[in-house]
Structure formats: structure tokens, C-alpha cells
Structure 1
């Protein structure tokens, strides 16, 4: 090829998103005019497997006319509560459910399955695994996305998940460096601060990252979090900190791969320094890829702002060249425009489904077992909650609950009712039932769920709780609730597995990967 221009190099340093299931003209312009070399997809872009494959194929066909190597096309397919694909693909357990099985080899198998299915759809980069050590029960954004609170176990499971994804052909991402587990603020909505000493970070937060870097990590994603011990300038997140990205990650930990930002439109960046200026500072800090997931004006604005900074001497071409070379080295390792023989998702669906169901079944954790097994002939009331979109990382399309539908496969005499949104009328709602199955979804963040359980107990009802997301919910409900299961997520296969335990078809063997006091 002819000599690569500075504009072409710059385009390879951006990851952009767009709306719709077809390639809009704005996206074509970003690839053709601005040489953008990387794409992020969200649920808004995902249709059937055929539609996804058509979208990624068209994107690569456009890129092939202008670029040496294919586009990196990524998604957040962590599985569990954060997933972009669902229709026509295998629903796989998330991190905490996988950890609850206490069998780390499952992390590899699930990673491989996920990688294979993404590759079949033309997606070559997964923004996973999550290596955050979730040691804060009040963390609103990580929680069950983490493998748990033990740094060594998170390291082991994270490493196997990464290697499994790579075995499936996937470029992987360790996130959120240097650790998002011990926060009580969602960085989509603000700037968290983690005030720990360097000694503490090395014993906890950094352990999984070190293990996975040593095992051959592809990319690392920075966290929009301030670490005072690493960055003296108050309010500067890790993403914009040279001491974190260059000093800690590259020089101390020896990572020489690609470093990407989390989305630069999150409030911790966009409402402080701003997305466009933030792109310049991130590159100065040692970042390689600037992720701008939503607005085209910010995407173009950031590219133009980097050009302006180059002309003004605020950033050197050497910085751009180094980032470009790291990105291209990654692409040369994984990507080719040569078509491979396609394997249909349908061909692997049964085998993949079987492994997923096995993991779901072994993840179910019984914390209290008084009423188990329930009779399939007894009429029970089931209170099914609506699922809120609890964090900025999640898609509302995956928020439809199916507790009643799942439990109805075990008993056809259940009375399925929506979870009450107030305490009014609970006596009437429950008057014909002594035993009540209650589904909870992060009750620690929703006081009404707690109040409903307390009211049911005060009425003398026998309450059977299925914790459908946060395992910490058991710590905030009355201790005289004597039957309690954790599923770690509200996906339909997880609820089927819970029903199997609840009605005595299987015995639960899962163990919570976080400490619970009750």
C-alpha cells in the first residue's frame, strides 16, 4: 500500500457507534472520509443473526475499499445482565453465576461458545471479561458482572474466560482498569473515587489484571474513576491519567497491547472535560483507542480536536504513530478480509445450549431451604417484579422478566401476579394464599421491594424468595424469611434452573462468590 497518511492513522484510533440495523450514510462517511477503523454495536443495531451478519458484512465491504485491514467490530457481550445479542444466539450465564458453580473450567467453555457465536455474526472483538473485584455490596454498576470478591478467583476465572474467548477467535478486553469493583457510584452518571493505597490496589484490584496480562491479553479498557494514590490531580479519571495508563499499566505491569477507553460520552468525561478534549488528553496519557459510542457530532468533533492539538503541538505525531502501530499489530494478528467457511449458529445451538443449561443449574445457590421442595400440586402466589434498567451498561431489551413463565413449567396451579408497587391492597391480593414466591431484583436499591416482603411476613405468610440478581438482597429482608435462592441474573434459563431446584427436580450446589451476612 501507499504511505499511510496522518488522517488515516487517526481514523484507526477511534471506535464509533451508530443507530439502526443498517449502515447509515453518516457511518459510511466516517469510514470513507475520516478513515474510522473500529465500530461498536449495541442492542439498537442487533436484529436476527442474519441481519447482524448482513450489517457486519456491509461494514467490512465499505472498509475494504479504503483500509488495509478489516474493522474491529465490538460488543459488550459479557453475558448475564450485560449482553447485546439475544435473539437466535445462546443465552449464556454471566460472571457471578459462573463463579457460583465453583468450577473455573466453565469460564473457558462459556468464553469459547461466546467467541464462536460472535465470530459467526461478523463480530471480532468482545468487550469482556470483567476483571473488577466486587468487594463493595453497594456497587451499583458492577455487582454480578464480576466473578466475585476474591482477587485470586477473579484472576483465575477471568483468565480462563479470556482464553476461551480467544479460542473462539475473539479479540478480548480486560475491564475496567485499574478496577471498578469498590465504588458506590456508576461512572455512567458521575466520577467515582477509590481512595485506596497502592499496597491495597496491588493486593486486590490489580491481581486479575496482572494474571491476564501475563496470559496474553489483547486489549485493556480504562475506567473513568479517580485513584488519588495514582493520580494527584483531583478529578482526573484513570482514562485521562498518564501515570495510570503509561506509568502503571504499560511501564509497571508491562502491557504492550492496545488500551481503549470506556465510552467517552459517559458523564464522568462528557460533563467534565468534555468528550472532544478528553480524546486529546486520553491519547496523551497513552490510550490507543478512543470510544465514542453514540453521537456523530462528538465523533467528528473529537477527530477534529485531535487534529487541532497536533497542529498546535499539544500532542506529537510520535504518540499517534505508537498508538496506530499497536492497533495495527492487533489487527494483523486477528483480522483478515479473506472469507472463512461459515459455521451456522444453528449447527452449534444444541451443544452450546446444553453447556449453558448445565452451568445455570450448577449456579443456583440455596441460602435458606425450609420450604424446599415445594409441592407441584399446591396453589402458590407468585409475585413477579418488573426489571428496571439498573445501570448505563445494560439494554432495556433484555429486561423482560419471565419468572411466572419459568415456574409454570413445573406447576400449573400457580397464581402469577405483578409485584405490588405499593402496600395498598396486599391483604386482598394475598388472602387466598399462605405460601408466596417473591422475585427480587436488586432490592438493596429499591426500598419498595423490601417493604413488600416485610408486609407479607407481618401478615403471617410463608415467603419464598428468589433473588434474581444481587445476592446481597438477602441482607436487607426480614431474617424470618426461611427459604431463599439466588440465581444472580433474571434470564429465563436461570429462572428455569431455580424452578427445578424449588420444586425438587434437582439439588442446588452453587455457592455465593461474595460474603453474605444474614
Structure 2
């Protein structure tokens, strides 16, 4: 009888079952004593990696192989599930040497299912070659709240059907590369103004609204064969009747809505149980047990060894007292093991060196460059500043905020100053100024002088609609009456903070290839083709709500002239 049909938990001890329902993380780029203890002594069967674990692709491949070897030597029946959040864009976790691809909202600006499929397939191929067999992606939240501090550009957009279409294309692309997929964050994290890493958000929508908006992409993703669904640490009183109860801990959300109504039979995964929405409400022990009892199958405890041990002991105690049934534990572990039996093999986990040839390959880099160029979006250009047309003696001032990682989930920092360098390659007379968004007053005089000396100001902002200091500085720069080009370097909603800005572009992220594509657009080397996948005010009459983007006629004229001259 196949392992997929028989009960794979038969003969397993309680401790072995507990290990299979946990996914843990650890610091460093080599296996620590603590992670080896969890794999070998506590039978933990799933590992989650972050950017902190990946310096470069060769080190990462050695790390995943070492982890799998330790599991094999400890007698694990199946390989480890090794996962990460490779969402692309600002969330890149494969290390130096891998290909950087655009994130979801940049892909939403292109709105091509084929391109989304191709990107997911390429990313999946690199993940699989590096020993990562599960991706906690795609994000299929419908981002319909401009004040959302944590989803934003991680979403494809605000149209539920667009999110559904592109989410399905992502699932299929990863599946073609043999990577396990996970839809997130169920039942929807898009319409909140609170980051669940720091607090418990509450969404007050009716069930009818959830069915019409938030649940649409999940319904399509499940039908497309997604392997797993990740729960959100968000309160939905319309579903639970309790504002203090996160969806992760609600049997009504996980069993009635997800399993029964949506018909999902795959793996239910929690978001990290160390997030403040859980830690500051019920704590790690109750959070672990209650999530398992409510219907979760794989429990993420991504950072702290002591909490990982607490979770193991909490499950043991809950079984001993009868609060948690062994039947529920076996059901959860069985789903994990069936997924492993179907999707993983020891041969692939421990060898597969030939697959490394695809990582950072020319083919993938060419695809990345093409997609970034298609995503850059010219939202507004009422004064016709694009493409730039300056004399050599005229100075361009590039102003940008100093940003560390923009949230807990973005743990790799990219230098926005690269935009200035890409511009300098095309126009030598450039000054680049960085300001601290938390201490703008200290830099104000220098910025004021630099603006006065410049012929044109290019100001990059990062989520300025959520940052009054950046918004205030842009307003001051606009008072100078110098030509100003505003660049939204992350979420595209910055224009809400300074609506009288006449020229506004968005790249949806400030990764190096996004900034290079932007420079090419600014100088008319390529036309801006992205279409804004979210709503902003003052959309010209006749433009579709979800398709706001301009192609500069001056850019088109220049490109056509170049083609004629080349011909």
C-alpha cells in the first residue's frame, strides 16, 4: 500500500509526532548545536531559513545538505521540509549569487500570468537547487488599505480577481519546479493598518465582504492545487465572535471555513508563533497548543531555541492532561508526512549538484532584467519631465531616505544610493544626498542649499504616506519651485502625502535591478510600461480603476526615432 494512502504515523512515538508538526529556525550560516539537538533528539522535521542563514549560494547549499545529513543520520524516515519566504522583491533569502526577481506588486503592474509563471518557475528552480523544497509563498492578500504597513508591495494589488489569477500562476510555476507552495495569509491580511509582528490587528468586515474580496484568491489558489495555506494572526470577529482571538487559534476559521467551506485538504501552517500578536496575547505555550488544537498541522517557531523547547513541552503536557488529543496530533503529523512522501526524496536532498547550474544563470538574469523593465510605472507627468533633457552643466540632485530593513520580514538592506550612481552613468553632474527620516531637521539646511543649486530634484521616498517626516520634506522641496520628480521606492501610495507633485513614478521596491530599470526610464532608454495595480486619487477619466499608468509620449517618440536611425 502506498505511503500516500496508509497512515504514515503508525509505529511513531509521541515525541516523533511532535517533532513532525514543528518548523523551527536558528541563527547563523552553519548548523548550530541547538538546531542539531532539535533535529536529532527532538525529531523536528521542518526547518525555516532566513537571510541570516544565507551568505551566498554555495554556503546555502552546503547548509541545507548538512541539515539533511543530520536528519538522515538521526533516523528520520523522510527528508526535512526546508522552507523560506522567498517572496522576491525586497524579500530575497537565497544569498549572493542567486537571481533577484521582482516582488508581487511589481508583477501586478505587468499583469501577465505567463510572466508570473516564468518568474515563479525560475525562482523555484534556484530554490530546489539550493536545497530549499518549500516556499511560504505566494502572498495572495488583497491589499486594499493604503495604510497597511506590512503587506503593501508584497501583494499583487487590490483587485481580488487579479490577485487570484496571478496567485494561481505563481502556484503553477513553483509546482513545475518541484517546490511546495503555501498560500498566505488566511483568511486575508490586506485590509489592516496594524502589523501582526507587533500587535493583533482586527478586521471588522462582514462574512459577505470576506467572501467577495479576501477569500477569492484563496478559493482559486486551493482549486489550483496549492500544497499549504498559512494562517494569519488577525482577529475576524465576524468569523469568530471574539475580537481577541487570532484566526490562527480559531477552529471555526481553520476547520469550518478553510476545510469544510473551501474544501482544503492540504497542510495548514501557522505564521510564526513568536510574533507579538501571539506572544503578547496568549504566549508561546498556549499559542502552540491552541493552534494545533484548532486545526493547524505545522507550527512555525522561527527564532528562539528556548521557546522551541517550551513549545515541545507544552504539547506533551497538553496530551497528558487530555486538553489535546493524540488523534489531532496524528492527523497533523500525518499530513506533514504524506506531503514529504509525495514531494521529497533523500537522493535529491543529499545530492542534486547538477541543478546548481541554473542558480544565477544568464537565462534567469535576462528574465529578471526584462521583467523589471516592464514593471516600472510612470503614474503622473503633467509637466512632461520624462525623459530627462538636461545640459551637461545642469545638476541633478538625488535625495533619498536612509532605510534599514523596512520591517521584520525584510532582513536584507539594499542601498538606495545606487539610483544616483545609475544616473551618474548617464549624466555626470549629480549630487546624491541621504537623509535620516527620524531626524530630518538636522539635514534640512544642507538639503535646502542643494535644492537651490540643482536644476532638477529626484526625491525617493519609502512609504511616505505612513511617515509624516518624509512627507514634510517633500512638501518643502516642492516649495522651491524647482522641477521635482518623486519616486515611490516601496509602496506606491506615497502620492497620497503630496498630491500636488506633478511627476511621480513607482518601482515598488528599491532592489538594484529595480533602480537600474528606473534610471533607464528616466533617460528615455526604455518606455515605462507598468500599470498601477492599486487605486490613487485623481485618476484621469476613462482610465480603468486598476490600470492607472502612463507611457510618456516623449519617451515613445525618442525610442521610435532611435529605431529609425538604427534602421
Deviation at 1:170, TM superposition (A): 0.6
Task: Give the equivalent residue in structure 1 for 2:483.
Answer: 462
In 1, Cα distance between the equivalents of 2:450 and 2:137? 43
Task: Give the equivalent residue in structure 2 for 1:444.
Answer: 465
Task: Give the equivalent residue in structure 2 for 1:138.
Answer: 147
Task: Give the equivalent residue in structure 1 for 2:295.
Answer: 286
In 1, Cα distance between the equivalents of 2:269 and 2:415? 28
SS at match of 2:361: helix
Task: Give the equivalent residue in structure 2 for 1:344.
Answer: 356
Alignment partner of 1:404 is 2:385: no
Task: Give the equivalent residue in structure 2 for 1:475.
Answer: 496
Cα RMSD between the aligned structures? Answer: 1.5
Task: Give the equivalent residue in structure 1 for 2:169.
Answer: 160
Q: Deviations over 1:345-366 (max 9, x none)?
A: 4676111011111111111111
SS at match of 2:445: coil
Task: Give the equivalent residue in structure 2 for 1:371.
Answer: 385
Deviation at 1:408, TM superposition (A): 2.3
Q: Deviations over 1:347-390 (max 9, x none)?
A: 76111011111111111111122211113634211112212433
Alignment of 1:403-422 (within 5 A): 403-419=419-435, 421-422=440-441
Task: Give the equivalent residue in structure 1 for 2:235.
Answer: 226
In 2, Cα distance between the equivalents of 1:217 and 1:40? 19
Alignment of 1:76-225 (within 5 A): 76-225=85-234
Deviation at 1:143, TM superposition (A): 0.4
Deviation at 1:402, TM superposition (A): 2.1
Q: Does structure 2 conserve the Cα–Cα contact (< 8 Å) formed by 1:79 and 1:95? A: yes
Deviation at 1:194, TM superposition (A): 0.7
In 2, Cα distance between the equivalents of 1:399 and 1:84? 17
SS at match of 1:382: strand
Q: Does structure 1 conserve the Cα–Cα contact (< 8 Å) formed by 2:129 and 2:353? A: no
Deviation at 1:476, TM superposition (A): 1.2
Q: Does structure 1 conserve the Cα–Cα contact (< 8 Å) formed by 2:130 and 2:356? A: no
Q: Does structure 2 conserve the Cα–Cα contact (< 8 Å) formed by 1:17 and 1:40? A: yes
In 2, Cα distance between the equivalents of 1:20 and 1:49? 14
Q: Deviations over 1:148-190 (max 9, x none)?
A: 0000000000010111111111111100000000000000000
Among 504, 510, 516, the alignment partner of 2:530 is: 510
Task: Give the equivalent residue in structure 2 for 1:490.
Answer: 510
Deviation at 1:276, TM superposition (A): 1.4
Deviation at 1:482, TM superposition (A): 1.8
Among 10, 25, 28, the alignment partner of 1:20 is: 28
Structure 2 residues without counterparts, runs of 5 or longer: 1-7, 539-567
Deviation at 1:475, TM superposition (A): 1.6
Alignment of 1:243-392 (within 5 A): 243-338=252-347, 339-340=351-352, 342-345=354-357, 349-369=361-381, 370-375=384-389, 377=392, 378-392=394-408
Deviation at 1:509, TM superposition (A): 1.2
In 2, Cα distance between the equivalents of 1:257 and 1:478? 45
Q: Deviations over 1:484-504 (max 9, x none)?
A: 111111111111111111111
SS at match of 2:432: strand
Task: Give the equivalent residue in structure 1 for 2:557.
Answer: none
Q: Deviations over 1:228-287 (max 9, x none)?
A: 011123311000000000110011111010011000000000111001111110111000
In 2, Cα distance between the equivalents of 1:83 and 1:399? 14
Task: Give the equivalent residue in structure 2 for 1:235.
Answer: 244
Deviation at 1:3, TM superposition (A): 2.1
Q: Deviations over 1:51-74 (max 9, x none)?
A: 001110000001012210000011
SS at match of 1:172: strand
Q: Does structure 2 conserve the Cα–Cα contact (< 8 Å) formed by 1:386 and 1:401? A: no
Q: Deviations over 1:188-208 (max 9, x none)?
A: 000001111111100000000
